[in-house]
Chain A
Amino acid sequence: MLQNSIARLGNTGLYVVNDLGRMGLYLLQAVRGCFRRPFRFAEFLRQLHFIGVGSLVVIFFTAASTGMVLGLQGYYSLHKFGAEGMLGSAVSLTLIMELGPVLTALMVAGRAGSAMCAELGIMRISEQIDALDCMAVDPFRYLISPKFLAALISVPLLTALFDVVGIAGGYLAGVKLMGVNPGSYYEGMRTSVTNHDIWIGVVKSFVFGLLVVWICTGRGYFVHQIRGAGFGAQSVSRVTTQAVVLSSISVLIFDYLLTAVLL
């Protein structure tokens, strides 16, 4: 009984180490695929459109809602101390350094990450990826790397859009609805947000974009090797859920780590 438990624990440990190694090598091959020729520019543009343009609406509404809630909540808290003038500073710093990169990455994981994982998973179980291998076509260059590049470019841009729309939403709620002075909202933002703060947001959005595309495409690519995922359509659905959960948790953990290191 005890021996079995220890064996299971050891087996799980080996699986986790093996999985981490596999994912590490996968990342290296995906990066290498970005530099292999011929580069699939049309596929890269298609992915850029899918991840970037396709996420515009969801990012817009999430950002507007988040900014407006921040405006109202911020006004409610700051009003208690007579510090409504700091609303612009509070809203913009929160959005640029934390909520913008985090929520954008979570939205992209839910919308585009899940789709990329399912697409690759289906290609794997229907032997389409094996077919590429057999034709001596590098699946990383052909399938994965365009997705990586598209995500690394579009997630920071979507984050920038999130920040702008969020700040506008905060302005709408704080200034137009609650009556905060527009000059103090703008001035608070201008004086408190430094280039360093913006840089932190950019680094975070880049890292989160990488995490989302790495985990989501990696889980789909290895759908047949993931323990307990089952087989066929069931394995794709389970692994897609797992990919979104895993990438979301990774984004939250890395958010803390990056904040601790970069602040």
Chain B
Amino acid sequence: MNDIAIEFKNVEKSFIREDGQKQVILDKVNFTIPAGKTTVIAGGSGQGKSVTLKLVLGLMEADGGQIFVGGRESTRSRGRELEELRTRFGVLFQGSALFDSLTVFENVALPLRERTKKTEKEIRDQVLSTLEQLELLGHEEKFPAQLSGGMKKRAGLARALQLKPEIMLFDEPTTGLDPVMTQEIYHLFARTQKQIGYTSIIVSHDIPKVFNLADQVIVLYDGGMDIFTSPEAIQWSQKPHIKEFVKTTMGEIYQSHLVEQ
């Protein structure tokens, strides 16, 4: 098995704003995401976290550079090749992205019905088993509008796990959830990752809580990025922009000279 799940090589992405000005989001960014581990992508708003996810998925094209998924270049993939590549991913969207007009059961069964040749009975068994694991049994006939925020996330996760993905992408998975539900969702991530062994990439604002899950943290800023191999390393970084980021997201770190003053 390849030790590197995803690799960014000199990836560039910029947008032209409505006023005609160019806004650089990623400026020749290089990083690797280790297989089977959890990488958290952090950074302020508009720094390119969600863009990075969309580039990985091929929902957006990079202006330059190369992206490799499992050693295969995804940047130039088109059509069926891109479809095949996407079957390796599971995605939990910020708003869960459940289909409004389908029930929870139909939502979770959709990837199995569309992408596999399983019989309706096999699909039913698999879906109900996943729903049981995620404590959604009894809610399978409800529509997304009838679910709470936490239940929507769990239903979205159930759908994303159906095809046993190699790589799971979580886009702001705890936005809008209360602290108890947030903790519950993180436990679910850890549990399902242990069961399936997927590589996990979490884009999150929920700092520092999300660091509990992280094996590696990538902080995006002003088109560039920094990689930290542990959450602790971020807190001790002497780079001014990282210190500022830590201060904004986690508050002042205790330093003796502040007390002396």
Interface residues, chain A, with chain B CB atoms under 8 Å away: 7, 11, 122-123, 126-128, 130-131, 133-138, 142, 227
Interface bracket on B: 20 to 34
Decide: A134 near B91, CB < 8 A? Known: A11-B20, A128-B100, A227-B18: yes
A11 to B21, CA, bound (A): 12
Task: Report A-chain residues with C-beta under 8 Å of the C-beta of B73.
Answer: none
Decide: A126 near B97, CB < 8 A? Known: A133-B86, A135-B110, A138-B83: yes
Does B232 reach chain A (CB closer than 8 Å)?
no
| B114→A130 contact, CB < 8 A | no
| A128→B20 contact, CB < 8 A | no
Among residues of B, the one whose C-beta sits closest to the C-beta of A142 is B114
Among residues of A, the one whose C-beta sits closest to the C-beta of B88 is A136
| A128→B99 contact, CB < 8 A | yes
Task: Report B-chain residues with C-beta under 8 Å of the C-beta of A133.
Answer: 57, 59, 86
Task: Report A-chain residues with C-beta under 8 Å of the C-beta of B115.
Answer: 135-137
Interface SS of chain A: helix
| A135→B114 contact, CB < 8 A | yes
Task: Report A-chain residues with C-beta under 8 Å of the C-beta of B95.
Answer: 126-127
Query: What 4 A-B pairs have minimum CB-CB distances, sorted nearest first?
Result: A131-B97, A127-B97, A136-B83, A136-B86
B49-73 contact mask (Cβ, 8 Å, vs A): 1 or 0: 0000000010100000000000000
| A130→B93 contact, CB < 8 A | yes
Among residues of B, the one whose C-beta sits closest to the C-beta of A8 is B20
Does B221 reach chain A (CB closer than 8 Å)?
no
B127-140 contact mask (Cβ, 8 Å, vs A): 1 or 0: 00000000000000
| A137→B97 contact, CB < 8 A | no
Interface residues, chain B, with chain A CB atoms under 8 Å away: 18, 20, 57, 59, 83-84, 86-87, 89-91, 93-95, 97-100, 110-111, 114-115, 159, 163
Q: 18 extra interchain contacts, Cβ-Cβ under 8 A, other than A131-B93, A135-B86, A137-B110?
A: A7-B20, A122-B100, A123-B99, A126-B100, A127-B93, A127-B94, A127-B97, A128-B100, A130-B59, A130-B93, A133-B57, A134-B59, A134-B91, A135-B115, A136-B84, A136-B115, A137-B114, A227-B18
**Contact sample, A vs B, 17 pairs, CB 8 Å cutoff:** A122-B100, A123-B99, A123-B100, A127-B94, A127-B95, A127-B97, A128-B98, A131-B93, A131-B97, A133-B57, A133-B59, A134-B91, A135-B115, A136-B84, A136-B86, A137-B114, A138-B83
A144 to B98, CA, bound (A): 18
A138 to B163, CA, bound (A): 16
Task: Report A-chain residues with C-beta under 8 Å of the C-beta of B83.
Answer: 136, 138
Nearest CB on B from A99, distance (A):
35
Task: Report B-chain residues with C-beta under 8 Å of the C-beta of A126.
Answer: 95, 97, 100
Decide: A128 near B97, CB < 8 A? Known: A135-B111, A136-B87, A137-B111: yes
Nearest CB on A from B70, distance (A):
15
Nearest CB on A from B107, distance (A):
9
A127 to B94, CA, bound (A): 9
A123 to B93, CA, bound (A): 13
A97 to B41, CA, bound (A): 61
Nearest CB on B from A16, distance (A):
15
Nearest CB on B from A143, distance (A):
10
Nearest CB on A from B86, distance (A):
4
Among residues of B, the one whose C-beta sits closest to the C-beta of A125 is B95
Interface centre among A130, A133, A134 (most CB of B within 10 A): A134
Interface centre among A128, A131, A142 (most CB of B within 10 A): A131
Task: Report B-chain residues with C-beta under 8 Å of the C-beta of A136.
Answer: 83-84, 86-87, 115
A216 to B158, CA, bound (A): 33
Task: Report A-chain residues with C-beta under 8 Å of the C-beta of B94.
Answer: 127
A9 to B126, CA, bound (A): 56
Task: Report B-chain residues with C-beta under 8 Å of the C-beta of A123.
Answer: 99-100
A153 to B98, CA, bound (A): 30
Task: Report B-chain residues with C-beta under 8 Å of the C-beta of A135.
Answer: 86, 110-111, 114-115, 159, 163
